[in-house]
Amino acid sequence: MKVLGIKFKDGGKIYYFAPQETETYEEGMQVVVETSKGMEFAQVAFPPQEVEEKDVIKPLRPVVRIATDKDREQVRKNRERKPQAMKIAQEKIEKHNLDMKLIDCEFAFEGNKVIFYFSSDGRVDFRELVKDLAGTFHMRIELRQVGIRDETKLLGGIAPCGRECCCAGAMQDFKKVSIKMAKVQGLSLNPGKISGLCGRLMCCLSYENEYYSEVYKKMPKIGAEVTTPEGKGTVVSENMLKLIVRVKIERGGGLVYKDFPLEQIHFKSTKGGAQEKEEKEEEEDPSLQELLD
């Protein structure tokens, strides 16, 4: 089945739509599509290509048209209305004394609906607020409560690594991350070192987790007693990318630190049993639990 990849935001999830046979589509081209929410302005993520029917959620909606100058002008007008809409909504929230943080808003492509995104520690009764906003904007109003990760995805920002937050610029969906991923990769379990702008575990911990998980099973534990070509010693550090183990060896009344390739090291594996219990206790540590919630 031939499909066209469509995304509604940069770095957003890609959806399949049916291309018009008479049109030619290129990556980055702007189009108008019809969704369950109505007409929406979008961008071509990839040109028409064949995919398995089992990978397509039917019915496959068609692309309405390639965007025109009029469509782009409509989008521009909608964006220009945003600052004023945010100001009015914030005033209404304060007027109704609601415990909610206004994050963002967007107007529907056709200009007949505005969606406000907010975060809050608990449930918020915003029925009166919706009525007030509807009377001001004279259009449909939607209020959507989002979590802390979604808030960061909407607002964006520069992550601790110095690049744009993964969730805002590169991730289509949030991936599951855990304290164990950080431990397996040899990272400090200090919350300040492994948390992103949202205060939760960094999404990038999942990127290379499959590789590290496999290597972790083969590497000796820090502090483990091992046998090397130069005698017995204690593991002080390990390089999981180069598969090198640094060992402390007693020699001539002193200590020698030397690196050995993993294949030259012999040891009794402890990656199980007591180790798994230790990892479970770390994941239940109150100081780390907030990173998982």
Print pLDDT tens along the chain (293 aa): 889 999 998 777 899 999 998 899 999 999 999 988 889 999 999 999 988 888 888 888 989 999 999 999 999 999 999 999 999 999 999 999 999 999 999 999 998 999 999 999 889 999 999 999 999 999 999 999 999 888 988 888 898 888 888 888 877 788 889 999 998 998 888 888 899 998 899 999 999 899 999 999 999 999 999 999 999 999 999 999 999 999 999 988 889 999 999 999 998 876 554 444 444 545 555 556 566 65
Handedness of CA 71, 77, 80, 82 (dihedral sign): negative
* The pLDDT of residue 287: 59
Do 140 and 253 contact (CB within 8 A), yes or no? Answer: no
231-239 β-sheet, strand order: 225-228, 231-239, 244-251, 254-261
pLDDT at 286: 55
Dihedrals phi, psi of 175, to nearest 5 degrees: -100, 150
Strands 140-145 and 113-119: parallel
Cβ 41 vs Cβ 71: under 8 Å:
yes
Residue 247 neighbours by CB under 8 Å, 6+ apart: 226, 228, 233, 234, 235, 236, 257, 258, 259, 260, 265
